[in-house]
Amino acid sequence: MKMEGDILKVNLENGIQKIILNRPKKRNALSIKMYQEIENILNDSSKNDSINMVVLTGTGDFFTSGNDINMLYSIENFTSFKNFIDALITFPKLLIAIVNGPAIGIGTTMLGLFDIVYASEKAYFHTPFTKLGLVAEGCSSYTFPKIMGPSKAGDMLYFGYKMDAKEAKEYHLVGTIYKDEEEVWIYLRKLSQLSIKSIMAIKCLIQKWNKEILLEVNKAEVEELMKVCESEEVINRLLNFISHKNKL
């Protein structure tokens, strides 16, 4: 099944709901429409008893190059972005990322909200927020220090440090590095035979202590993002990025 001009490919097989970002010419940059569609898929999947897990990956060389900067910022767009992150935070079933290539911006920060992350050995992780005058997003101001420690989290969020797959595993952003993606799918198909009730009960216990905190963090990050996006500095940096197509 394909959606919205093929920008997403969605397929349900063996209890696994696949969401495949499908804008390879745009390096799978995420548009507001994609955020809205993924949020809807997550909400529907949470109520569908035939779905055990949701897996997010990308088409082509990139996992995602992050937000589509060409989109105009508006209250509606920020609301859609916030709702997408809220949906990741509250999703009651397994949420898995297969990072098939470079992950930029939100492509990196949202991984802290996934239950399990697999990454290609070709992947790297980059959060160039201060280059663009932006702020932390995807709850990374909270999750990154907890996952990788305050020093490495600061290196990524303050300075835009680019982390390769091996280092991402060392700092616990990634669980497993793969050479052949098909091996990951074979493994996940085996996992889909496990008790979904048991998995959901375990996830409920894990979510219980952090869910409300994460929702508040997301709200605060989006509010701060809205503020900085009104500044002349950020507007100029974004326009410069678009016009010169700076390589991240």
CATH 2.60.40.2470 fits 8-180+195-246, yes or no: no
pTM of the model: 0.93
Q: How far is CA 234 from CA 92, 199, 214, in A?
A: 36, 43, 26
Task: Please report where in the chains the tokens 């397994």 appear, as a residue.
Answer: 94
Residue 72: both structure tokens together: 């105009």
Q: Compute the distance between CA of residue 136 and CA of residue 157 in angstroms, rounded to an integer.
A: 7
Q: Report in angstroms the alpha-carbon separations of 10 from 22, 26, 114.
A: 10, 19, 18
- Report the DSSP pairing between strands 16-21 and 8-13: antiparallel
Looking at residue 242, its pLDDT comes to: 66
Q: What is the mean pLDDT of each run of 10 residues along the chain (248 residues)?
A: 72 96 96 96 96 97 90 79 98 98 98 99 97 95 98 98 98 98 94 88 95 98 92 79 58
